[in-house]
């Protein structure tokens, strides 16, 4: 019920966003709601761009500049942040996203082909070799995992 109320409240805002951003692909509303409780596309885009810029700032403290960098968002959800990492990190970056939700990974793979998406389980290991990534980040994974654990018993 909360999902339907949220979608209804955002109806006008959604129409305005789509008219101003006609080529910006957005995930299905249910995937966005599952990831961060609101299919608010203005928030999805702006906060994704801002977070990618923040992550670049953090990465630049530890990684050499102008070197190819492999970046992973573990728990990427519907790509709110990871879709902006190639723009922030530059053309030499190889960008990956992983998530436990097969519907999310399917949408991301189809909508954002410049990023490599992988399905992961709820427990380790990931399918990548040790030391493969130069920069790994995650946003709200443990709070989501906590919620899943309480639902699944």
Residue with tokens 């951003």: 21
Helix (H) and strand (E) counts in the chain: 7, 4
State the distance between the two ends of the chain, measured CA to CA, in whole angstroms: 23
Q: What is the mean pLDDT of the chain?
A: 90
Nearest CA-CA partner of 137 in 64, 62, 68: 62
CA distance 49 to 45: 6
Residue pLDDT, tens place only, 69-80: 999 999 999 999
CATH numbers and ranges of domains, the chain: 2-152 (3.40.50)
In DSSP notation, 73-130 reads: EET-TTTTTGGGHHHHH-TT-EEEEEES-HHHHHHHHHH-TTSEEEE--SSSPPSSPT
- CA torsion sign for 97, 101, 102, 103 is negative
- Is the separation of the CB atoms in 21 and 49 below 8 Å? no
> pLDDT tier at 152 (50, 70, 90 boundaries)?
very low
Length of the chain (residues): 153
Q: What is the pTM of this model?
A: 0.87
Residue pLDDT, tens place only, 98-123: 999 999 999 999 999 999 999 999 88
């Amino acid at each position: 019920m909360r999902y339907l109320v949220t979608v209804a409240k955002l109806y006008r805002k959604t129409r305005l966003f789509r008219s101003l951003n006609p080529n910006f692909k957005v995930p299905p509303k249910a995937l966005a709601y599952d990831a961060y409780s609101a299919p608010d596309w203005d928030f999805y885009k702006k906060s994704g761009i801002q977070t990618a810029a923040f992550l670049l700032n953090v990465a630049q403290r530890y990684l050499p500049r102008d070197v190819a960098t492999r970046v992973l968002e573990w728990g990427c959800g519907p790509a709110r942040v990871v879709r902006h990492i190639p723009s922030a990190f530059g053309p030499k970056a190889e960008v990956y996203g992983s998530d436990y939700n097969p519907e999310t990974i399917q949408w991301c793979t189809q909508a954002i082909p410049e990023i490599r998406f992988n399905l992961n389980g709820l427990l380790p290991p990931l399918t990548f070799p040790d030391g493969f990534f130069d920069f790994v980040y995650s946003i709200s994974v443990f709070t989501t995992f906590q919620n899943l654990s309480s639902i699944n018993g």
